[in-house]
């Protein structure tokens, strides 16, 4: 009797974990730079390449997910990002190179999936 009860709890837990895993797996996926993002970035900043954007993505996960979840760049306008980033530079203790890189990263990625969400 008890064993049966436990099995049900296990089943429930497994389902919950799977759903969680699914959500976690999808979220950062939106932010992973691909070649298309590089092209867009290079229209504004000539020093951007895929490796640089990928490094920025890692830095973003590392530095910007400590206090709150990593906000999706597409959720804010360019103006909102430019206003917010100096505060977050302070919060995340970024040096000025990291600040510039992450600013370029969010401005690049905020345009990423607006129209091409389902192509990624
Ligand atoms: C030391 C903690 C801390 C770190 C690290 C941090 N933040 Fe924040 N962040 C906050 C707090 C606290 C708020 C809310 C306070 C406010 O609205 O000013 C916030 C708010 C935000 C918001 C606005 C959310 C909203 O909808 O109002 C964005 C966007 C954001 N952070 C991005 C970032 C980015 C990008 C980084 C990495 C460079 C970062 N944060 C690192 C503490 C942090």
Give me the chain's average pLDDT, please. Answer: 85
Banded model confidence at residue 120, pLDDT cuts 50, 70, 90: very low
Fill in the DSSP letter of residue 110. Answer: T
pLDDT > 90 in the chain, percent:
64
pLDDT > 70 in the chain, percent:
82
Of ligand 1's listed atoms, the one at least distance from the Cα of 106 is: 35
Identify whether the C-beta of residue 102 lies closer than 8 Å to the C-beta of residue 59. yes
Give the pLDDT of residue 22. 59
Q: What is the value of pTM for the model shown?
A: 0.79
56: number of Cβ within 10 Å: 24
Centroid of ligand 1 to alpha carbon of 49 (angstroms): 26
Domain boundaries, the chain: 1-30, 32-113
Give the pLDDT of residue 119. 47
Of ligand 1's listed atoms, the one at least distance from the Cα of 92 is: 5
96: number of Cβ within 10 Å: 8
Residue 83 pLDDT greater than 50, yes or no? yes
Identify whether the C-beta of residue 49 lies closer than 8 Å to the C-beta of residue 105. no
Average confidence (pLDDT) over 54-79? 95
| H runs (alpha helix) in 30-112 | 35-44, 50-64, 78-92, 96-109
Q: pLDDT per residue over 13-54, tens digit each?
A: 777 776 766 555 555 556 899 999 999 999 999 989 999 999
Pick the residue whose CA is nearest to atom 5 on ligand 1. 92
Protein residues with CB under 6 Å of any ligand 1 atom: 63-64, 66-68, 71, 76, 84, 87-88, 91-92, 94, 102
Give the pLDDT of residue 3. 72
């Amino acid at each position: 009797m008890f064993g049966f009860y436990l099995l049900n709890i296990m089943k429930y837990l497994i389902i919950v974990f799977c759903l969680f895993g699914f959500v976690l797996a999808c979220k950062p996926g939106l932010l992973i730079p691909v070649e298309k993002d590089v092209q867009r970035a290079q229209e504004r900043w000539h020093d951007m390449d895929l490796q640089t954007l990928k490094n920025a993505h890692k830095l973003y996960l590392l530095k910007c997910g400590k206090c709150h979840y990593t906000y999706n760049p597409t959720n804010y306008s360019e103006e909102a990002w430019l206003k917010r980033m100096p505060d977050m530079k302070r919060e995340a203790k970024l040096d000025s190179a990291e600040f510039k890189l992450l600013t370029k990263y969010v401005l690049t990625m905020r345009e990423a999936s607006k129209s091409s969400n389902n192509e990624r």
